[in-house]
Chains A and B, each alone.
Chain A
């Protein structure tokens, strides 16, 4: 079908890759989704047909070349096909974060003047309809799940299946138009537009060309020798560049199969059933899983517990070396094999990681213990450092050079330099075209030679060539006495404790560092249950004196380790409080990818920061919260502020 449109063998657009896959892997599975408790699958041949029908249908309802088509929903094969169908029809897909509230969606839909929206279900359609009046450009909405939408006014609303049927019916008339549009596309055609999560200010639309996506997919697939026999589970937000590269870029380049979970809640179980060979997750995921394993183990029998801890300790000793192919004694090897049979194997199976050949974590720093835990089990977990603007890849860790304190060497085709202020810059084939409708930002981020400023401060390690990231360049500051203030570094140290979900450090231009803490409800809740600490809500648990004691202990341990660091010993935390609510993207306090928006936290909790700095021991506060449906409410709380012990500089560890 699409072959006619493709000049001989050129694989420079996603639709052309699809045509190649349909030709070469026609009978192999391309997409899978669990529905009604059973894994349904579609071959490359079927996917090509589905995409083609939808693309024709899009033409039939008037999609023009260069139109923006927003795609909103969780990871589902039909939504991935929608993005490719949009490209096939000459339009640009714009995936949106599905958990965004209506107002956030309005901003993006308006900014990209989307004429069409493809939404997963009633929930998403409702959000779009709610803001429809504010959007001049929006014309038609297509939905996937008809449930609950039967009675809606269908003048501008269409079912996905109906559009496909319309496309199939008009095939003869529209196929030549489609072929013409496809033939026009090349490396420089826009492939996708992704909105950055925006830790500072409004989201920006990053325009990525086919060159960006295809080149990045190609070199990263080669780097990790991905092939059509690999298998992944797509569960990360579709609006995130990583998911686009894995579930579309690499998937279409290599022809591997992407599976979609039945629902977000079943992800862990689906992971186990699929057993992916290639896996990507943010540190938060790995932390969560580890916490869950440890909690479950505490409930196990004494024998199992002892066995678990014994072999885990052994794995910690020799596991990473075995993975890196370093020499390990025969006795240790044998014991590791025994451990594999008794503990590591069953555990990996539980986690769905038995077949993982390569796993990546990125987005945030990962705790050394967490990282080591997975590596010691024999899971090849590596780190990479990337950005939307780079089509993900900036640096990457090669097999055998995996460390938890660096983010690896420049990815294939990427050049890196550090400017005078310590900010990391890069240049690569993946570098974005521009920020949509925002030439100033494009200019200040990307210079005329194609070098992009990351906004992160870091340095290249002597000898190994590995990049180390210190912090967001903007967040690094000086304290009143002139010592360095690098909040992220300290926050990460705190977050490595299972009890701490999130921490926010304040200290620019002040004499002392103070901190907000969010406790991890799973970990602390389990501890509370074990210790007969009763609580009715997150807020109550967060305010419990014994929880405060535990957090204080963690903070003091961090202070001890900071005291030994000549550069950062000014960042010891003098005072802290535990927040009465979790920082939440719905309240704008975090991005949808769960990064803290410092400026908003600064404003919103100004009263608490003031109290921390002024030495109060208690503070009452009222905080506005936003419910999932966008309604507002407020919670009030009395918070206790505690002092933590700080340690003299260069002191010996206590």
Chain B
């Protein structure tokens, strides 16, 4: 299958042109090469999965995309702009949001406030106005609160609106984190193991949320996931990494049959 000019997914969605291109990225920590010479693209409107065994370099890859790590070689093109070094805040400004493998929320703050924090980049009134909570700042706050309430409704977390997130079970914290990422209205959403540590029903819920985000907001999603079942169910295309190299790239059904992938997951006799 050729993906050069966009394609149509199994469930009939039309996927557009690449929104991000990753070209020949190599990332080293001292003498250790975490990622070597990886290239792939992420297309508008698709759900792109990055999978691979432990230590394959998945999270490093996400960190490079998001500007947290800087690759020694190669370049990333996002929305037509090529950068070899990008800072996380620049990534955020250009429309990339993410969640983390180990939930990184403000534990003392409520769900509402955490998601509100995700709107930070969209708030423009100056500090003084905001302190006064008056006039234009108040209007702005109301507008953002509406956006946040829509996310709360979307993720079905009304019941924990006022609960400090530190008190929430893990599965819900993951959902709040997704909410915060959505609050920035990203065009590319990066999810680092959104279903780690969840039971079957929680995984199903989360899968549904991811599909609904993609469907409702048209958000392009890139996710790292361990659970092969989930990946096969929701991803349109999959990149497989092993020891920092790309070993396969394609639609789930193809990747699943790829001998190199099977070997990487099940191991081969040495």
- A627: contacting residue among B12, B154, B200, CB under 8 A: B200
Those of A243-275 within 8 Å (CB) of chain B = 262-263, 265-266, 269
Those of A118-163 within 8 Å (CB) of chain B = 147-148, 150-151
- Residue of A at shortest CB range from B200? A627
CB-based closest 6 A-B pairs: A265-B159, A36-B149, A266-B159, A262-B158, A263-B158, A37-B149
Give Cα A263–Cα B158 distance, bound, in whole angstroms: 7
Cβ contacts under 8 Å, B150 to chain A: 36
Those of B87-138 within 8 Å (CB) of chain A = none
Main secondary structure of the interface of B (DSSP, over half): helix
Contact between A151 and B12 (Cβ–Cβ < 8 Å)? yes
Contact between A148 and B215 (Cβ–Cβ < 8 Å)? yes
A35 at the interface (CB under 8 A from B): yes
Contact between A37 and B208 (Cβ–Cβ < 8 Å)? no
Contact between A151 and B201 (Cβ–Cβ < 8 Å)? no
B216 at the interface (CB under 8 A from A): yes
Give Cα A627–Cα B204 distance, bound, in whole angstroms: 11
B156 at the interface (CB under 8 A from A): yes
Give Cα A627–Cα B203 distance, bound, in whole angstroms: 13
- Residue of B at shortest CB range from A261? B158
Give Cα A554–Cα B11 distance, bound, in whole angstroms: 57
Contact between A36 and B159 (Cβ–Cβ < 8 Å)? no
A-B contact pairs, 24 of them (CB 8 A): A36-B146, A36-B150, A36-B152, A36-B153, A37-B158, A37-B161, A147-B154, A147-B212, A147-B216, A148-B211, A148-B216, A150-B216, A151-B11, A151-B13, A151-B215, A262-B158, A262-B159, A263-B156, A263-B158, A265-B159, A266-B158, A627-B200, A627-B201, A629-B204
Chain B residues with a Cβ under 8 A of chain A:
11-13, 145-146, 149-150, 152-154, 156, 158-159, 161, 200-201, 204, 208, 211-212, 215-216
Contact between A150 and B159 (Cβ–Cβ < 8 Å)? no
Give Cα A204–Cα B30 distance, bound, in whole angstroms: 73
Cβ contacts under 8 Å, B161 to chain A: 37
| Closest-CB distance, A635 to chain B (whole angstroms) | 13
Contact between B152 and A37 (Cβ–Cβ < 8 Å)? yes
Known: A36-B146, A150-B215, A263-B159. 20 other contacts (CB 8 A): A35-B153, A36-B150, A37-B152, A37-B158, A37-B161, A147-B154, A147-B212, A147-B216, A148-B208, A148-B211, A148-B212, A148-B215, A148-B216, A262-B158, A262-B159, A263-B158, A265-B159, A266-B158, A266-B159, A629-B204
Main secondary structure of the interface of A (DSSP, over half): loop
A628 at the interface (CB under 8 A from B): yes
Cβ contacts under 8 Å, A263 to chain B: 156, 158-159
Give Cα A269–Cα B145 distance, bound, in whole angstroms: 20
Cβ contacts under 8 Å, B11 to chain A: 151
Cβ contacts under 8 Å, A151 to chain B: 11-13, 215
Cβ contacts under 8 Å, A269 to chain B: 159
Cβ contacts under 8 Å, B200 to chain A: 627
Cβ contacts under 8 Å, A629 to chain B: 204
Contact between B201 and A628 (Cβ–Cβ < 8 Å)? yes
Cβ contacts under 8 Å, B154 to chain A: 147
Cβ contacts under 8 Å, A37 to chain B: 145, 149, 152, 158, 161
Give Cα A603–Cα B159 distance, bound, in whole angstroms: 38
Give Cα A269–Cα B11 distance, bound, in whole angstroms: 40
| Closest-CB distance, A599 to chain B (whole angstroms) | 29
Q: A77-111 CB contact bits vs B (8 Å, 1 = yes)? A: 00000000000000000000000000000000000
- Residue of B at shortest CB range from A35? B153
Cβ contacts under 8 Å, B212 to chain A: 147-148
Give Cα A266–Cα B157 distance, bound, in whole angstroms: 9
Cβ contacts under 8 Å, B215 to chain A: 148, 150-151
Give Cα A148–Cα B158 distance, bound, in whole angstroms: 19
Count A-side interface residues using an 8 Å CB cutoff.
15
- Residue of A at shortest CB range from B154? A147
Give Cα A36–Cα B154 distance, bound, in whole angstroms: 10
- Residue of A at shortest CB range from B212? A148
| Closest-CB distance, A9 to chain B (whole angstroms) | 43
Give Cα A3–Cα B165 distance, bound, in whole angstroms: 53
* A35, A37, A150, most chain B CB atoms within 10 A: A37
| Closest-CB distance, A654 to chain B (whole angstroms) | 42
- Residue of A at shortest CB range from B149? A36
* B145, B154, B159, B200, most chain A CB atoms within 10 A: B159
- Residue of B at shortest CB range from A123? B208
- Residue of B at shortest CB range from A38? B149
Those of A141-190 within 8 Å (CB) of chain B = 147-148, 150-151
| Closest-CB distance, A118 to chain B (whole angstroms) | 21
- Residue of B at shortest CB range from A268? B159
Cβ contacts under 8 Å, A265 to chain B: 158-159
Cβ contacts under 8 Å, A147 to chain B: 154, 212, 216
Give Cα A629–Cα B154 distance, bound, in whole angstroms: 20
Give Cα A150–Cα B13 distance, bound, in whole angstroms: 12
Give Cα A629–Cα B212 distance, bound, in whole angstroms: 18
Cβ contacts under 8 Å, A35 to chain B: 153
Cβ contacts under 8 Å, B156 to chain A: 263
| Closest-CB distance, A77 to chain B (whole angstroms) | 16
Give Cα A265–Cα B145 distance, bound, in whole angstroms: 21
| Closest-CB distance, B132 to chain A (whole angstroms) | 23
Cβ contacts under 8 Å, B216 to chain A: 147-148, 150
| Closest-CB distance, A529 to chain B (whole angstroms) | 14
Cβ contacts under 8 Å, A150 to chain B: 215-216
Give Cα A265–Cα B146 distance, bound, in whole angstroms: 21
Give Cα A628–Cα B204 distance, bound, in whole angstroms: 11
* A36, A265, A266, A628, most chain B CB atoms within 10 A: A36
Q: A5-40 CB contact bits vs B (8 Å, 1 = yes)? A: 000000000000000000000000000000111000
Give Cα A147–Cα B13 distance, bound, in whole angstroms: 16
- Residue of A at shortest CB range from B11? A151
Give Cα A262–Cα B161 distance, bound, in whole angstroms: 12
Cβ contacts under 8 Å, B13 to chain A: 151
| Closest-CB distance, A85 to chain B (whole angstroms) | 25
Give Cα A262–Cα B204 distance, bound, in whole angstroms: 22
Cβ contacts under 8 Å, B159 to chain A: 262-263, 265-266, 269
Q: A33-52 CB contact bits vs B (8 Å, 1 = yes)? A: 00111000000000000000
| Closest-CB distance, A130 to chain B (whole angstroms) | 15
Give Cα A150–Cα B153 distance, bound, in whole angstroms: 18
Give Cα A269–Cα B159 distance, bound, in whole angstroms: 8
Cβ contacts under 8 Å, B208 to chain A: 148
Cβ contacts under 8 Å, A148 to chain B: 208, 211-212, 215-216
- Residue of A at shortest CB range from B160? A265
Give Cα A147–Cα B213 distance, bound, in whole angstroms: 10
Give Cα A35–Cα B150 distance, bound, in whole angstroms: 9
Those of A607-642 within 8 Å (CB) of chain B = 627-629
Give Cα A37–Cα B156 distance, bound, in whole angstroms: 12
| Closest-CB distance, B205 to chain A (whole angstroms) | 10
| Closest-CB distance, B207 to chain A (whole angstroms) | 12
- Residue of B at shortest CB range from A150? B215
Give Cα A265–Cα B152 distance, bound, in whole angstroms: 13
Cβ contacts under 8 Å, B149 to chain A: 36-37
- Residue of B at shortest CB range from A264? B159
| Closest-CB distance, B172 to chain A (whole angstroms) | 11
| Closest-CB distance, A156 to chain B (whole angstroms) | 19
| Closest-CB distance, A33 to chain B (whole angstroms) | 12
Cβ contacts under 8 Å, A266 to chain B: 158-159
Cβ contacts under 8 Å, A628 to chain B: 201
Give Cα A263–Cα B156 distance, bound, in whole angstroms: 8
Give Cα A609–Cα B117 distance, bound, in whole angstroms: 56
* B12, B13, B149, B211, most chain A CB atoms within 10 A: B149
Give Cα A403–Cα B201 distance, bound, in whole angstroms: 43
| Closest-CB distance, A525 to chain B (whole angstroms) | 13
Give Cα A568–Cα B161 distance, bound, in whole angstroms: 50
Cβ contacts under 8 Å, B204 to chain A: 629
